[in-house]
Amino acid sequence: MSVLPTQQTTGAILLIVDDDRSARESLRSVFESAGHRTIGVSDAPAALRLLQKQPCDLVMLDVELPEVDGVALCRLLRAQPALKQLPLVVFSADDSEGRKVEAFTAGADDYIVKPSTPGELLSRVNSHLNFAQRESELIGSNRELSFLADLGRGLLRTIMPEQVASRVAGAIYEGTNASQSACAIKNNGKGLAVCVFDREGSAGSSALINMDRLERWLASSRSTSPAWLTNSREFLLRDAPHETEYLVPIRFGEEILGAMVVAFTAAKDCTADECRLINAAAQQAALAAHISTLYLGARESAATLAEEVDRRTAESEMQQRFTEAIIDTLPLSLYAIDRQYRIVAWNRNRELGELGLPRGEALGRNIFDVLTKQSRELLEREFGKVFATGEIHRVEQESVTESGETNHWLISKIPMRADENDEVSHVITVGENITVRVKAYRAVARAEKLAAVGRLAAGVVHEINNPLATIAACAESLEKRIKEGAFSDSPDAEDLREYLGLIRDEAFRCKTITNGLLDFSRLRAGQRVPVDVTEVIKAAGRLVTLQERGDNIQIVVEAAAGLPRVSGDVGQLQQAVVALATNAIDAMPEGGTLTLTAICSNSRVLVQVRDTGIGIAPENMTKIFDPFFTTKDVGRGTGLGLAVCYGILSDHGGRLDVRSTVGAGTTFTITLPVADE
């Protein structure tokens, strides 16, 4: 389509397709009297042939045409990409609704019923011409804006004359109907930087352009305004055959900085839209060329400027990478959110672990869409409090891994103010794994508790044992006298014998408890010698087997070959392993597998006592090493076994850890340091 000025309703080219000559002449008279130019044809094939040669602004067609009717012609025209925007107006004597629907379905823009007054015809045709004109201008404006935006972004990354010439020539060739495009930029007193684009690509050589003619034109007074060259003897570009060249100066203020030469294969390709694009590109090229000139001048006067910029940029990037490396190296899980709860930072430790998420999948997302396993209401309350008060919020949390291990976390939400005003702009959340610290605190508290109980036991046991010994001796003496017949005449002799047996048994049970307390409180110096842990767990396995404690128990001993020795007392270490194994068997009332394992890890020897029993309830995990704490029935345990084990291993410089899952089993791990050579 040709381009019409905005709101202009005269001067358009109208194609009239009607097999009635008088009807064509009548329409011609109406439209040409209004200033339009008309072309008339009698059938659809003629209309198609004409539109391939002659662009028109609107087609007025009759429905009743020979061979191919008007509706079919509409479909044919709409099927061609170049004619999709061409206004089509159907002119027919058929006023039926079906015919109108058929025409509009085929792609018609309007349906005018014959006969119609000249005023209505002109009004409706001009309306379509104006609409098509505005649409064409909008398409042209969008194309021009897109072209200029792309060129502008490209020129922002160019600073040398050669780069400017290449960028501008390439953009013109890609963005217009040009068969060849060239750009020449003055190179700070070193001639012209030239780049030529054609279907073969780009070339930096000046062989494709007549440099003498170009330089003469730039030096002449004609270079102040664009020029159209139609005489091939005056053409500047070589190689590709063409009919016209559009020559535009690249001008900044009053200074000519270069020129653009654009060749078109056909003169009709050099439309007003193309020229407007080229002129706009020349203005951007002038600014880029001026910046390039300033840059080259500055580079010559301060050769070290670029090096200084590069050095400072490298330092800044290095500092940024160093800061990011510090944050990623910290043994903390860290992320930050803005006031819209979008994630703006996510360090490497947040990418790891069971709840880890890659940084690329987290940044920019809403924090509640990422932390789905946490209570949204609680998180909103905590974040809202920090945003509102600007105070740090800390809370301790626990998490349980799939293996049943409990981790302790200290979660701190820290306000951040990005600018000078007092409003909190971001909240940084730092998660610190304090499992080791919590276990250490609990171990210290447990050790203090055990020490206090030990001191109490040491002071009390001897005072209790003496009365217990007296009670037991008296009960045994009376039992002996009953056996000798001293009370044979008494009718209550049998009751007395039963009661004395109970007194003796309970006294000995109390003595067993006090002896356990005495063992618990006694210093376990022992004889420290190099100990083969493999032999210890094998001996413990044999002892537990001989006890025949529990039914359907399978005992498995696994020890790696060549384990290093540990320094300790063989009897005490064996006592600890046997106590743990006995507890494990008691935890498998329906039978199961007891596994004793010994391995070496990081200069430490690990002994694991693993069962497949009922497990330990989470609420009891922190109390199992306390003296007198037991889950066994009355009379089956004193609650001192694990406390004694803990004390023995602490005296050996080791530790005792536990991991348990209810219904799946429990694993006690003894960690002992390797003996020095």
DSSP codes joined into one string, 503-562: HHHHHHHHHHHHHHHHHHHS------EEE-HHHHHHHHHHHHHHHT-SSSEEEEEEE-TT
Lowest-pLDDT range of 114-128, 476-490, 662-676: 476-490
Confidence category of residue 2, pLDDT binned at 50, 70, 90? very low
Q: Are residue 215 and residue 259 in the same domain, yes or no? A: yes
- Do residues 516 and 457 share a domain? yes
pLDDT the model gives residue 457: 64
**pLDDT value for 5:** 37
CATH code for position 371: 3.30.450.20
Pair 504, 563 in one domain: no
- Are 604 and 566 in the same domain? yes
Q: Is residue 20 part of a domain?
A: yes
Tell whether 321 is covered by a domain: no
Whether 397 is covered by a domain: the verdict is: yes
Question: At 288, which CATH number?
Answer: 3.30.450.40
Segment among 99-113, 209-223, 323-337, 661-675 with least mean pLDDT = 323-337
Calpha distance 278→286 (Å, rounded): 12
> What residue type is assigned to position 88 of the chain?
L
Last residue of a domain, one of 301, 323, 349: 301
In a domain? residue 326: no
Which of residues 401, 431, 461 is at a domain's end?
431
Residue 198 located in a structural domain:
yes
Cβ proximity of 109 and 130 under 8 Å:
no
Whether 29 and 123 map to the same domain: the answer is: yes
Cα atoms found within 13 Å of the Cα of residue 389, Cβ hemisphere only: 11
Asked if residue 206 is part of any domain, the answer here is yes
Question: CATH no. for residue 612?
Answer: 3.30.565.10
Q: Give ∠ CA 485-487-490 in degrees, rounded to 5.
A: 135
Burial of 50 (0-12, 13-18, 19+ CB in 10 A): middle
Average pLDDT for 40-56: 86
Residue 463 domain boundaries: 439-521
Beta bridge partners of 23: none
Domain count of the fold of the chain: 5
Statement to judge: residues 410 and 454 lie in one domain? no
319 within some domain? no
Statement to judge: residues 658 and 558 lie in one domain: yes
- Residues 72, 115 within the same domain: yes
pLDDT at 597: 92
Per-residue DSSP letters for 190-250? S-EEEEEEETTEEE-SGGGB-HHHHHHHHHSGGGGS-EEE--GGG--B-SS--SEEEEEEE
**Mean local confidence (pLDDT), 162-184:** 85
Q: Same domain, yes or no, for 505 and 583?
A: no
pLDDT of residue 269: 82
Residues 122 and 176 in one domain: no
pLDDT at 669 over 60: yes
Whether residue 547 is predicted with pLDDT greater than 80 in this model: the reply is no
Overall average pLDDT of the 550-565 stretch: 83
Peptide bond into 115 cis (omega under 30): yes
What's the whole-number mean pLDDT along residues 253-267? 87
Q: Between these two residues, 677 and 610, which has the higher pLDDT value?
A: 610
Same domain, 551 and 655: yes
What does the alpha-carbon distance between residue 454 and residue 600 come to, in Å, rounded to a whole number? 33
| CATH number of residue 54's parent domain | 3.40.50.2300
Share of the chain above pLDDT 70, in %: 84
pTM of the model: 0.36
Q: Judge whether 589 lies within some domain.
A: yes
Last residue of a domain, one of 301, 324, 343: 301
Name the DSSP letter for residue 675.
Answer: P
Q: Do residue 279 and residue 369 come from a single domain?
A: no
Residue-averaged pLDDT of the chain: 80
| pLDDT attached to residue 4 | 36
Going by C-alpha positions, the residue among 25, 31, 33, 26 that lies closest to residue 13 is 31
Distance separating alpha carbons of residues 449 and 624, to the nearest angstrom: 13
User: Is the per-residue pLDDT at 527 higher than 50?
Assistant: yes
